[in-house]
């Protein structure tokens, strides 16, 4: 191909540069489209394929090192030479770039391209895969122009590169091994099972969850670097430092989980606590409505209550999250699902997600973003949005309806989510980094 982009073939040095620009544009655009398609395929599959891609990278490294031998899938042909005789220069140069930029339509001397394809599918991010493959197209374009530096004859330039083939093969093996290492490492969106549990809460290095034992819900608190603490006969924990709020048969309690000392208690038909002391949010159920309440214990002797939202009893007013002056909750009605975030100081309320079809539920907050669960008839996913942006990003997905996602907890760039199996009826706590 390098022999094609010469002043003699193109007609002048100016036309040579025009052809190189067209070739680069075609190669980069075609490669980016391939990356987009592969990333979209991975997103549609919804499976964690990084380890599969890592295994292919190691197998490719072994092939390039001469340890194993197997043929590569490829089309052993070049782009049509007649194009440059029959078509205008801008057309054939772009066509040549697109043909080589796609990658599937030409000879592949090494397995690296196919490893890149597998990695793009594992990435499951169309934009990121498009950017990565655009770099492949740019490299294709560079190889059409760069080898002639220092050489009057393009063929001599190509031969000088062939003379360095052994070095390039060694470098390729090293790159493939590095790719395998990166793919095999724990990655964003990778899920780690933390064992049985549900209704997670995480704050300040403490992870809390509810666990069933002999048909009774107990609370397990796991402070980092310390022994775990169990609170019997409790559910829906919300942890904040040394304090934890939880529900029981009497209502909602707030206790110091280190000492066991009770801080406050609200009796009655109240549940689903969220704690950001001295604020305590909970859902109170009456004969007609469910109400989301925030109680302020700045003065423990005279706490105040503030009504945030309500829903009729037959609808679902979900488990709230309370962090840094914001409160988040979901509301499910026959007309659809909404995820709300409200600033407590100003009362300004935002609908961060809505759907008339999907189930949107169980939001959790950090100081900078909100995360929630979205469920369709065929899949469940975790979605997130920063407060200073409108873009919604999917960070985790399960595609089998037997694995359903439910309650969440967010801390930093880590989400804890309940994963429930409809086959076994068991729930598992899963950690997702993003």
Q: What is the pLDDT of residue 355?
A: 94
- Alpha helices (H) along 163-245: 165-184
Q: How far is CA 94 from CA 10, 104, 112, 212, in A?
A: 14, 17, 24, 64
pLDDT at 76: 59
The secondary structure element, H or E, covering residue 397 is strand 393-398
DSSP at 313: T
User: What pLDDT does 256 receive?
Assistant: 97
Q: What are phi and psi of 135, to 5 degrees?
A: -65, -35
Please give the Cα distance from 53 to 49 (Å, whole number): 6
Q: Provide the pLDDT for residue 14.
A: 78
Query: Tens of pLDDT along 4-48?
Result: 666 666 677 778 778 788 888 888 998 899 889 988 887 666 556
Residue appearing with tokens 């935002």: 350
Segments of the chain with pLDDT less than 70: 1-10, 43-48, 74-79, 105, 144-165, 185-190, 400-402
pTM above 0.85, yes or no: no
According to the model, what pLDDT value does residue 46 have? 52
pLDDT on residue 53? 85
- Domains of the chain (ranges, CATH numbers): 7-184 (no CATH), 191-433 (2.120.10.30)
- CA dist 261 and 363 (Å) reads 29
Phi, psi of 312 (to 5 degrees): -65, 155
CA 405/CA 380 separation, integer angstroms: 6
Distances (CA, A) of 142 to 5, 380, 434: 12, 43, 34
**Which pLDDT belongs to residue 235?**
95
Please report the pLDDT score of residue 180 as a whole number.
85
- For position 71, what pLDDT does the model report? 83
Residue 390, Cβ density class (10 Å: 0-12 exposed, 13-18 middle, ≥19 buried): exposed
């Amino acid at each position: 191909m390098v022999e094609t982009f010469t002043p003699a073939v193109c007609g002048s040095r100016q036309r040579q540069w025009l052809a190189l620009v067209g070739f680069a544009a075609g190669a980069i655009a075609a490669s980016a489209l391939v990356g987009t398609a592969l990333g979209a395929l991975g997103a549609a599959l919804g499976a964690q394929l990084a380890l599969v891609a890592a295994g292919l990278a190691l197998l490719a490294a072994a092939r390039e090192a001469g340890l194993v031998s197997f043929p590569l899938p490829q089309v052993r042909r070049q782009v049509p030479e007649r194009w440059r005789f029959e078509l205008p220069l801008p057309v054939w140069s772009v066509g040549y770039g697109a043909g080589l930029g796609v990658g599937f339509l030409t000879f592949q001397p090494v397995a690296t391209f196919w490893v890149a394809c597998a990695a793009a599918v594992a990435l499951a991010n169309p934009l990121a895969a498009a950017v990565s493959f655009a770099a492949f197209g740019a490299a294709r374009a560079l190889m059409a122009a760069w080898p002639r530096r220092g050489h009057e004859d393009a063929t001599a330039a190509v031969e000088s590169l062939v003379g360095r083939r052994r070095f390039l093969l060694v470098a390729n093996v090293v790159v493939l091994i590095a790719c395998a290492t990166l793919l095999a490492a724990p990655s964003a969106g990778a899920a780690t099972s933390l064992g049985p549990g549900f209704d997670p809460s995480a704050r300040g290095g403490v992870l809390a969850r509810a666990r069933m034992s002999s048909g009774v819900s107990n609370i397990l608190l796991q402070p980092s670097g310390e022994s775990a603490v169990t609170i019997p006969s409790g559910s829906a924990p919300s942890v904040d430092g040394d304090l934890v709020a939880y529900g029981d048969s009497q209502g909602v309690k707030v206790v110091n989980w280190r000492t066991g000392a009770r801080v406050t208690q609200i009796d009655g038909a109240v549940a689903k606590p969220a704690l950001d002391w001295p604020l305590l949010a909970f859902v109170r159920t009456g004969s007609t409505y469910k109400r989301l309440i925030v109680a302020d214990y700045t003065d423990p002797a005279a706490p105040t209550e503030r009504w945030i939202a309500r829903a009729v009893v037959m609808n679902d007013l979900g488990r709230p999250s309370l962090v840094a002056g914001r409160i988040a909750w979901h509301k499910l009605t026959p007309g659809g699902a909404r995820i709300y975030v409200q600033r407590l100081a100003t009362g300004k309320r935002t609908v961060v997600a809505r759907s008339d079809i999907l189930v949107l539920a169980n939001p959790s907050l950090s100081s900078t973003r909100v995360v929630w669960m979205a469920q369709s008839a065929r899949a469940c996913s975790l979605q997130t949005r920063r407060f200073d942006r409108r873009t919604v990003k999917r960070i985790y997905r399960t595609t089998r309806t037997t694995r359903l996602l439910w309650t969440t907890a967010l801390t930093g760039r880590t989400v804890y989510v309940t994963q429930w199996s409809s086959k076994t009826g068991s729930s598992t706590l899963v950690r997702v980094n993003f």
